[in-house]
């Protein structure tokens, strides 16, 4: 029995073919193992998830952290943030690649102490691309190459192969002689030192690595994290931009309604709050947005016509919506990659285009409809809104049925009409004179 115990002890200590016994190996019984997964795009949500995992694992004095990974990549800035946290972790970090560790996922995997992959998985293809799928300019490739090399060197892996995952021109004899960007299968990754073992499950990997009866702690995703991830997705962000612009438009179009501006305010909070929590939206960007809304309001309610204040306000609103979704320090975009910038521009532009379509359709179908009136109009719009023959009213007097700020409604006989004041604010029940017709509105002056 003593001889058997001695042999088992020696086997546990002596390094095995799959790397067990290295300085970063973890084995034993009843170890605390903290596990979390990234099965999505490498983006701010993945960074927040990683930071939280590291903090929780440290607080509970875990012996090992296992990252369950399956991603096609994502933002270089977030991949670098995750890589840095893993490299600086005092707790060993193992990654188990379920299927894909591509692009940014390859950088994260190489940063881990040990890499394990499932049969059929791949790792590599870390070329930086733009939203169109084309390779980004060389300065971004150079940045990624340096990160891959430095990370591989820190973990004792081949920096040349890591660089070849980014640059197809990097020749690695016996591996990359054709000028193609390197992507390794599981068996190839084991051969070239970028994988420490092939397993079908995490449980099988731990057992084979000598981790017996571990105490498993899995990261729990709160509803707040799920909500943030949902709200910052491009499609939802674009819809929120549409609601922000639409609410402002309808409130300015029909002053005093209240409901459109409430929708815009809620959409603004839902747009900026998760970006602020993700560390993207800064205080100054939110202030720029508020200033833009104020300038547009001044242009419509105080200054007749539409000039410098209104245009400046729209530019500030658009700029704030874009900048708040980009990882920048004031106007320094060195920490942003082209995909992130293009994604921010795309969601805002699509929201703007959606707003334009909505404004055109609503002007034709909704403003005169009963649904829009029930939502918020204080006055009931009648067929009198049609002023195709409004020239007959020029020079006549009317009564303001709402405040003109400068937009509102006037009463001519028993019918209500859309109007705009040429004198700025005119209170309700004031007498006005119809000066001319412009589109669907009467332009009036106070008497």
Please indicate, yes or no, if residue 6 is contained in any of the structural domains.
no
CA-to-CA distance for 267 and 263, rounded, in angstroms? 6
Instruction: List the CATH number of the domain containing 411.
Output: 2.40.50.140
Helix (H) or strand (E) holding 415: strand 415-421
Assigned token pair, 57: 């694992």
Same domain as 204, residue 186: yes
Instruction: List the CATH number of the domain containing 180.
Output: 3.90.226.10
Same domain as 260, residue 184: no
Give the total number of structural domains in the chain.
3
The domain boundary, picked from 327, 344, 375, lies at 375
Same domain as 407, residue 340: no
Same domain as 178, residue 69: yes
Question: Which residues fall within 8 angstroms of residue 199, CB to CB, at 6 or more apart?
Answer: 96, 116, 118, 205, 208
Please indicate, yes or no, if residue 7 is contained in any of the structural domains.
no
CA-to-CA distance for 149 and 144, rounded, in angstroms? 9
CA-to-CA distance for 44 and 234, rounded, in angstroms? 13
Same domain as 85, residue 44: yes
Q: State the sign of the Cα–Cα–Cα–Cα dihedral 352, 78, 157, 57.
A: negative
- Cis status, amide bond into 406, omega within 30 of 0: yes
Same domain as 364, residue 438: no
CA-to-CA distance for 57 and 35, rounded, in angstroms? 9
Please indicate, yes or no, if residue 2 is contained in any of the structural domains.
no
Per-residue pLDDT of the chain (447 residues; tens, 9 = 90+): 454 444 444 444 343 334 333 456 788 888 999 999 999 888 878 888 999 999 999 999 999 999 999 999 888 888 999 999 999 999 999 999 999 999 999 999 999 999 999 999 999 988 877 655 677 777 778 889 999 999 999 999 999 999 999 988 888 888 887 768 999 999 999 999 999 999 999 999 999 999 999 999 999 887 887 788 788 877 888 889 889 888 887 776 665 556 888 888 899 999 998 888 877 788 888 999 999 988 887 776 666 555 677 788 888 998 899 888 887 666 666 656 666 677 788 888 888 888 778 767 765 554 444 444 444 444 334 444 455 555 678 888 999 988 887 778 899 888 888 888 887 778 889 999 999 887 678 899 998
This model's pTM is above 0.75: no
Query: Which one, of 207, 214, 161, 217, lies nearest residue 20 by Cα?
Result: 207
Same domain as 170, residue 295: no
What distance, in Å, lies between the first and last C-alpha atoms of the chain? 111
Segments forming the whole domain that contains residue 129: 16-221
Same domain as 185, residue 124: yes
Please state the φ and ψ torsions of residue 374, each to the nearest 5 degrees: -70, -30
The domain boundary, picked from 341, 375, 409, lies at 375
Same domain as 84, residue 72: yes
The domain boundary, picked from 221, 236, 268, lies at 221
């Amino acid at each position: 029995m003593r001889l058997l115990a001695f042999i088992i002890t020696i086997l546990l200590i002596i390094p095995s073919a799959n790397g067990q016994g290295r300085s970063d190996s973890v084995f034993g019984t009843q170890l605390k193992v903290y596990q979390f997964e990234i099965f999505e795009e490498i983006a701010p949500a993945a960074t927040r998830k990683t930071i939280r995992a590291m903090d929780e694992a440290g607080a509970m004095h875990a012996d090992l952290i296992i990252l369950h990974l399956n991603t096609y990549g994502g933002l270089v800035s977030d991949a670098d943030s995750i890589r840095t946290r893993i490299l600086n972790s005092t707790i060993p970090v193992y990654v188990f690649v379920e299927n894909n560790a591509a692009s940014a996922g390859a950088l994260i995997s190489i940063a881990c102490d040990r890499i394990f992959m499932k049969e059929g998985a791949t790792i590599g293809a870390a070329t930086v691309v733009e939203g169109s799928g084309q390779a980004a300019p060389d300065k971004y490739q150079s940045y990624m190459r340096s990160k891959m090399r430095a990370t591989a060197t820190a973990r004792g892996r081949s920096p040349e192969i890591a660089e070849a995952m980014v640059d197809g021109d990097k020749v690695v004899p016996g591996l990359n002689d054709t000028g193609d960007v390197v992507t390794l299968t599981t068996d190839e990754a084991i051969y070239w030192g970028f994988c420490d073992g092939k397993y079908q499950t995490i449980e099988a990997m731990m057992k084979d690595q000598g981790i017996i009866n571990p105490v498993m702690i899995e990261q729990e995703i709160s509803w707040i994290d799920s909500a943030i991830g949902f709200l910052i997705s491009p499609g939802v962000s674009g819809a929120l931009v549409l609601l922000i612009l639409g609410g402002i438009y309808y409130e300015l179009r029909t002053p005093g309604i209240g409901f459109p501006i409430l929708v815009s305010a809620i959409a603004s909070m839902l747009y900026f709050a998760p970006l602020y929590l993700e560390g993207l939206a800064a205080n100054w960007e939110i202030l720029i947005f508020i200033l833009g809304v104020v300038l547009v309001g001044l242009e419509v309610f105080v200054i007749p016509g539409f000039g410098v204040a209104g245009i400046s306000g729209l530019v500030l609103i658009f700029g704030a919506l874009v900048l708040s979704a980009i990882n920048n320090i004031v106007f320094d975009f060195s920490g942003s990659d082209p995909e992130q910038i293009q994604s921010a521009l795309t969601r805002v532009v699509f929201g703007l285009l959606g707003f334009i379509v909505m404004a055109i359709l609503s002007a034709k179908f909704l403003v005169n409809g009963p649904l829009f009136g029930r939502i918020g109009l204080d006055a009931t719009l009648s067929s009198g809104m049609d002023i195709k023959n409004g020239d007959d009213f020029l020079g006549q007097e009317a009564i303001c049925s709402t405040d003109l700020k400068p937009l509102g409604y006037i009463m001519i006989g028993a019918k209500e009409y859309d109007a705009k004041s040429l004198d700025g604010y005119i209170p309700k029940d004031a007498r006005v004179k119809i000066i001319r017709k412009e589109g669907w509105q009467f332009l009036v002056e106070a008497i």
